[in-house]
């Protein structure tokens, strides 16, 4: 794998991790042999350790679910040991995932294999870490996740930038071409961090740093007994340095509420729903059938689109 010569740093890439024939065989398995949740939007199946929707880590008390035969040849080998958790996701046209970072203390490296149709993934960073949240300027970089490509996120791309996929049925390429989306599958690989401590110091995105500063992220499941609710948002919960240093009471970051019951831990008969973005537990709204082509000259926010051929 080679590192992409872009910001954020730490994105490593390999084209054609598998052959087109292997990809076609896998998609037949995904479509005909697996049991998916019966609802719309992005769908997920989990293997290995069970994802814990209360901590957004893993629950080691639940037995490890063995990897299926089709998955074993797809496991990355760069980490020297198999991953602890693997998530297979199906993205129908128009589906996405809100900007988020995977929990710092729970997981170390992060890999993703893309299958089926390509899609643009957005990496986002607030450029003013000490400023007012509403006044912060965002830096956005788009990476084209091409079929059969394997991507590794480490360093800045893993810890200090959020990543997500916008809910829309088209993507605009660097040359202005509007590309329609089609069915896409991704396989995400995670390794448990031991010990479960991150020393990156990012008060907005790192749960270890937030705990040290007395900032508690308030999850919906903690508030259910109090009869309170929060507002649903597609943005991940963050906190500012000012809130961490001037408040005499521990600051609270509210977790978006979807008014749905907390998903139960998955079993082989009832796979877990969505993957770990805590703000994305509710089914996604379908994208418009025929969205207008995007105008690359008038983006909603500063944006840089990166082709995967740019290597160091």
DSSP 63-96: PPBPPPTTTGGG---TTSS--SEEEEEEE-TT--
Same domain, yes or no: 172 and 193: yes
Same domain, yes or no: 105 and 186: yes
- Does residue 265 fall inside a structural domain? no
Ordered per-residue pLDDT tens for the chain, 312 residues: 999 999 999 999 999 999 999 999 999 999 999 999 999 999 999 999 977 767 778 877 888 999 999 999 999 999 999 999 999 999 999 999 999 999 999 998 899 999 999 999 999 998 754 444 555 678 999 999 999 999 999 999 999 999 999 999 999 999 999 999 999 999 999 999 989 999 999 999 999 999 999 987 655 444 444 444 333 333 333 333 333 333 333 333 333 333 333 333 433 333 444 444 443 443 444 444 444 444 544 444 444 444 443 333
* Distance separating alpha carbons of residues 285 and 247, to the nearest angstrom: 37
- Does residue 94 fall inside a structural domain? yes
- Does residue 306 fall inside a structural domain? no
Nearest CA among 105, 98, 99 for reference residue 57: 105
Strand bridging mode 107-116 / 184-192: antiparallel
pLDDT at 24: 98
CB 272 within 8 A of CB 135: no
Q: Given 167, 197, 227, which residue is the final one in a domain?
A: 197
Per the structure, how many domains does the chain have?
Answer: 2
- Does residue 310 fall inside a structural domain? no
Same domain, yes or no: 192 and 218: no
**Domain assignment of residue 112, given as a range:** 2-197
Same domain, yes or no: 92 and 72: yes
CB 11 within 8 A of CB 308: no
pLDDT at 191: 94
- Does residue 261 fall inside a structural domain? no
- Does residue 24 fall inside a structural domain? yes
pLDDT at 260: 33
Q: Given 152, 171, 197, which residue is the final one in a domain?
A: 197
Same domain, yes or no: 240 and 146: no
pLDDT at 180: 98
Torsion of CA 74, 79, 82, 87, to 10 degrees: -60
Same domain, yes or no: 106 and 247: no
Same domain, yes or no: 102 and 213: no
The reply to whether the predicted model has a pTM over 0.75 is: no
Same domain, yes or no: 214 and 76: no
Same domain, yes or no: 106 and 232: no
Same domain, yes or no: 109 and 247: no
Same domain, yes or no: 164 and 220: no
Alpha helices in the chain (DSSP H): 20-32, 155-159, 207-212, 220-223, 241-246
CB 150 within 8 A of CB 2: no
* Distance separating alpha carbons of residues 199 and 206, to the nearest angstrom: 9
pLDDT at 61: 81
- Does residue 269 fall inside a structural domain? no
Q: Report the CATH number at residue 120.
A: 2.60.120.590
Same domain, yes or no: 84 and 222: no
- Does residue 8 fall inside a structural domain? yes
Phi, psi of 134 (to 5 degrees): -75, -25
């Amino acid at each position: 794998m080679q590192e992409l010569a872009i910001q954020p740093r730490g994105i490593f890439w390999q084209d054609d991790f598998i052959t087109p024939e292997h990809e076609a065989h896998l998609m037949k398995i995904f479509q005909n042999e697996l049991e998916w949740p019966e609802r719309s939007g992005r769908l997920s199946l989990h293997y290995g350790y069970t994802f814990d929707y209360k901590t957004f880590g893993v629950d080691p008390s639940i037995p490890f679910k063995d990897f299926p035969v089709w998955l074993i040849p797809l496991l990355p080998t760069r980490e020297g040991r198999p991953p602890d958790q693997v998530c297979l996701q199906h993205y129908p046209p128009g589906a996405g995932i809100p900007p988020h970072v995977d929990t710092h203390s729970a997981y170390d490296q992060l890999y993703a294999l893309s299958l089926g149709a390509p899609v643009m993934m957005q990496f986002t960073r607030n450029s003013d870490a000490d400023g007012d949240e509403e006044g912060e300027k965002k830096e956005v970089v788009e990476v084209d996740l091409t079929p059969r490509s394997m991507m590794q996120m480490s360093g800045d791309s893993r810890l200090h930038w959020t990543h997500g996929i916008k809910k829309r049925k088209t993507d605009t390429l660097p040359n202005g071409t509007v590309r329609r989306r089609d069915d896409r599958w991704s396989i995400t690989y995670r390794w448990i961090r031991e010990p479960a401590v991150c020393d990156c110091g990012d008060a907005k995105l790192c749960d270890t740093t937030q705990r040290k500063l007395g900032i508690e992220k308030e999850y919906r499941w903690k508030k259910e007994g109090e009869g309170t609710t929060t507002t649903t948002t597609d943005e991940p919960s963050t906190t500012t340095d000012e809130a961490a240093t001037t408040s005499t009471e521990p600051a609270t970051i509210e977790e978006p509420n979807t008014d749905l019951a907390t998903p139960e831990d998955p079993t082989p008969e009832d796979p877990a729903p969505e993957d770990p973005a805590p703000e994305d537990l509710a089914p996604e709204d379908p994208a418009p059938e025929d969205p207008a082509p995007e105008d690359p000259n008038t983006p909603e926010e500063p944006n840089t689109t990166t082709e995967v051929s740019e290597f160091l």
